[in-house]
């Protein structure tokens, strides 16, 4: 592991063709300038080949990635199945050859550089949160988008750019000679490819944490700022990404030295059976199927009332093979706080649709509780939210959202006429939402089926494990373990990964049968790969501890 381009180029020789691949959000001009300066410091000439100059015409790329079904949809698109190679009208010819380089190092760079014949392959990565921030700020462009064609869109970023770039990266990961983390664009941290793959092989058989991040939104609260110390200077800490496979990263390296952030998805792509467990891998392939995140509305506002696509609609319209069933675990609630969930027994759905349409078109508010039920948001209650169920967290709560991974499909019925940062009404998706509304999730059945009583599955001296939520149509279930002070419980993955989060108390010490030990503090999330097998969890601190555990049933 090292830092800086000068140390990275130390082993390069004249005549080498170096391909530097990576996502579109990397500052490619700066990166290549720094690489060439580092080569010049070694008295090596550099020839440059910018693959961005060989993208197909933008109208052709738009045609390639369009969808007849959702072509005019401003917010959603089907997950793209295109290959990155399809974005090029033709790859540069002739391909660079050592004999044509006149002793120089030929640097082929940009998304897709690995498609060109090369001797060495570097991957210059930038975590996805940077691309999202640039698109939100209006400064980022999408994959293949030339200057002068306007700002990039989150719609293309989420549904087109990221799936295409992820598939490309996962396909070349075994051949990468050097991984560059370009968060510091002038002095990136780097890791040799063999060391990267060895580190990930070791990580696949031991518990690990992903790097948490918090985003700001219009409804966001301040619990994560005050309780956890995240983003103290931000407007709020609304969305806390604890474990989301398409975006989460894992930090490799020592706290006092260079650290490289690697996407969780790379680990899963390389070692799916070890991480997920064989049976889960057979069900989901290399898609890590469970996510943990926080919804912080303490001092903020109500979330939009929305639902998620039903399974058939998710496959047919959006292109995901499984849908977004959710649960809300109440980390923080209290008197007067509420969760919106399910339809009222007497809800007039036609009137609901008319009110929702009028709110969007004319800006007329309405009382959502004429149609949707609300429940007290009591701390440590779990609410089950199968696809098609209208729901939202109210103001003053902290929700630990434990759900299926496809998280980009919140189909809004109503958003309180809320404005975005530019003063425009935030998107509401009335047609999609009502197309997926499940009318059977209504009346007393909501409280009976979706607000379940805990069921004890095992217990011992000083501990008890309960199932706190599960439904036949949901592929995962949520359990909670209560530990008395200094009590310990044995557990085992039984060939399927577990995800743990400490929801009350100081924390726990987890030790695997192989001897790996780690401490998990309050509100932290830990993934225990299916390959771990047996492990033991002990309560830390001077008071009882609670943690939740999610697993594929």
Task: Answer yes or no: is pLDDT of 34 > 80.
Answer: yes
Can you give the pLDDT at residue 155?
94
- The model's pLDDT over 400-424, given as tens digits with 9 standing for 90+, comes to 999 999 989 999 999 999 987 778 8
Q: Position of tokens 């998990």?
A: 520
State mean pLDDT over 23-30.
96
Q: In 3D, which of 174, 184, 199, 163 has the Cα closest to residue 406?
A: 163
Largest CA distance in the chain: 80
Q: Exposure of 544 by Cβ count < 10 A (0-12 exposed, 13-18 middle, 19+ buried)? A: middle
Q: What is the pTM (predicted TM-score) of this model?
A: 0.94
Q: In 3D, which of 549, 545, 536, 543 has the Cα closest to residue 483?
A: 545
Question: How far apart are the C-alpha atoms of 301 and 6, rounded to whole Å?
Answer: 49
Q: Position of tokens 């959202």?
A: 401
Question: What's the chain's length in residues?
Answer: 553
Task: Answer yes or no: is pLDDT of 428 > 60.
Answer: yes
Question: How far apart are the C-alpha atoms of 348 and 345, rounded to whole Å?
Answer: 9
Can you give the pLDDT at residue 170?
96
Spatial neighbors of 470 by CB under 8 A, at least 6 apart, are 384, 452, 476, 477, 478, 553
Question: How far apart are the C-alpha atoms of 216 and 297, rounded to whole Å?
Answer: 11
Strand (E) or helix (H) holding 31 = helix 28-41
- The model's pLDDT over 510-521, given as tens digits with 9 standing for 90+, comes to 999 999 999 999
| Count of CB atoms situated within 10 Å of the CB of 77 | 23
- The model's pLDDT over 144-183, given as tens digits with 9 standing for 90+, comes to 999 999 999 999 999 999 999 999 999 999 999 999 999 9
Terminal CA-CA length for the chain = 39
State mean pLDDT over 224-230.
95
- The model's pLDDT over 70-101, given as tens digits with 9 standing for 90+, comes to 888 989 999 999 999 999 988 886 455 544 44
Percent of the chain at pLDDT exceeding 70: 98
Q: In 3D, which of 498, 514, 499, 511 has the Cα closest to residue 540?
A: 511
Task: Calculate the CA dihedral of residues 314, 308, 474, 452 and round it to 10 degrees.
Answer: -170
Question: How far apart are the C-alpha atoms of 208 and 203, rounded to whole Å?
Answer: 7
| Count of CB atoms situated within 10 Å of the CB of 261 | 19
Can you give the pLDDT at residue 422?
75
Question: How far apart are the C-alpha atoms of 220 and 289, rounded to whole Å?
Answer: 26
| Count of CB atoms situated within 10 Å of the CB of 255 | 6
Question: How far apart are the C-alpha atoms of 535 and 207, rounded to whole Å?
Answer: 10
At 332, list the tokens: 């923080």
User: Rounded to the nearest 5°, which phi and psi values hold at 7?
Assistant: -75, -30
Can you give the pLDDT at residue 520?
98
Q: Position of tokens 């496809």?
A: 406
Per-chain mean pLDDT for the chain: 94
Can you give the pLDDT at residue 77?
93
Task: Answer yes or no: is pLDDT of 544 > 70.
Answer: yes
Question: How far apart are the C-alpha atoms of 118 and 228, rounded to whole Å?
Answer: 46
Can you give the pLDDT at residue 420?
78
Half-sphere CA count of 111, side-chain side, radius 13 A: 26
Can you give the pLDDT at residue 100?
47
Residues 173, 266 contacting (CB under 8 angstroms): yes
pLDDT band of residue 250 (cuts 50, 70, 90) is very high
Question: How far apart are the C-alpha atoms of 108 and 519, rounded to whole Å?
Answer: 44
Task: Calculate the CA dihedral of residues 312, 314, 320, 323 and round it to 10 degrees.
Answer: -90
Can you give the pLDDT at residue 93?
67
- The model's pLDDT over 193-215, given as tens digits with 9 standing for 90+, comes to 999 999 999 999 999 999 999 99
Strand (E) or helix (H) holding 312 = helix 311-313
State mean pLDDT over 330-356.
96
Question: How far apart are the C-alpha atoms of 36 and 103, rounded to whole Å?
Answer: 14
Q: Position of tokens 């020789």?
A: 13
- The model's pLDDT over 278-330, given as tens digits with 9 standing for 90+, comes to 999 999 999 999 999 999 999 999 999 999 999 999 999 999 999 999 999 99
């Amino acid at each position: 592991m090292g830092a800086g381009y000068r140390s990275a180029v130390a082993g390069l020789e004249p005549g080498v063709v170096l391909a530097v691949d990576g996502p579109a959000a990397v500052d490619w001009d700066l990166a290549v300038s720094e690489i060439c300066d580092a080569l010049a410091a070694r008295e090596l000439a550099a020839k440059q080949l910018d693959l961005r100059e060989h993208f197909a015409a933008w109208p052709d790329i738009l045609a390639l990635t369009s969808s007849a079904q959702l072509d005019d949809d401003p917010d959603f698109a089907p997950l793209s199945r295109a290959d990155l190679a399809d974005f090029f009208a033709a790859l540069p010819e002739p391909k660079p050859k050592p004999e044509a380089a006149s002793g120089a190092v030929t640097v082929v760079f940009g998304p897709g550089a690995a498609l060109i014949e090369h001797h060495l392959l570097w991957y210059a990565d930038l975590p996805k949160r940077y691309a999202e921030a640039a698109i939100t700020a209006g400064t980022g462009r999408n994959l293949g988008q030339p200057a002068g064609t306007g700002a990039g869109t989150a719609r293309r970023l989420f549904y087109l750019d990221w799936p295409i770039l992820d598939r490309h990266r996962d396909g070349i990961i075994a051949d990468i000679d050097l991984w560059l983390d370009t968060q510091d664009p002038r002095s990136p941290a780097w890791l040799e490819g063999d060391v990267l793959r060895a580190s990930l092989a070791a990580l696949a058989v031991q518990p690990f944490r992903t790097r948490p991040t918090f985003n700001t939104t219009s409804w966001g609260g301040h619990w994560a700022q005050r309780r956890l110390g995240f983003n103290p200077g931000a407007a709020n800490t609304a969305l806390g990404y604890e474990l989301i496979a398409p975006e989460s990263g894992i930090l490799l390296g020592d706290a006092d030295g260079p650290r490289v952030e690697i996407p969780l998805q790379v680990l899963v792509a390389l070692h799916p059976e070890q991480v997920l467990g064989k049976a889960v891998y057979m069900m989901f392939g290399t898609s890590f199927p469970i996510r943990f995140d926080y919804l912080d509305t303490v001092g903020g506002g109500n979330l939009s009332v929305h639902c998620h696509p039903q399974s058939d609609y998710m496959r047919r319209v959006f292109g995901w093979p499984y849908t977004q069933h959710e649960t809300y675990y109440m980390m923080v609630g209290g008197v007067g706080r509420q969760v919106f969930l399910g339809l009222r027994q007497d809800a007039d759905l036609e009137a609901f649709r008319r009110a929702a349409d009028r709110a969007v078109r004319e800006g007329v508010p309405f009382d959502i509780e004429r149609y949707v039920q609300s429940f007290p948001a009591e701390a440590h209650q779990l609410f089950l939210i199968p696809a098609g169920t209208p729901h939202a967290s109210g103001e003053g709560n902290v929700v630990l959202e434990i759900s299926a991974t496809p998280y980009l499909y919140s189909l809004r019925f109503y958003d309180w006429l809320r404005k975005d940062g530019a003063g425009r009404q935030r998107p509401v998706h009335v047609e999609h939402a009502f197309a997926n509304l499940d009318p059977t999730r209504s009346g007393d059945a909501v409280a009976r089926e979706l607000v379940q009583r805990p069921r004890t599955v095992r217990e011992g001296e000083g501990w008890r494990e309960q199932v706190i939520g599960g439904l036949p149509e949901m592929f995962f279930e949520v359990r909670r373990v209560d530990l008395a002070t200094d009590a310990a419980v044995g557990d085992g993955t039984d060939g399927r990964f577990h995800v743990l989060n400490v929801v009350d108390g100081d924390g726990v010490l987890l030790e695997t049968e192989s001897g790996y030990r780690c401490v998990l503090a309050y509100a932290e999330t830990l993934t225990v790969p299916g390959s771990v097998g047996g492990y033991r969890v002990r309560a830390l601190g001077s008071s009882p501890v609670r943690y939740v555990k999610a697993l594929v049933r």
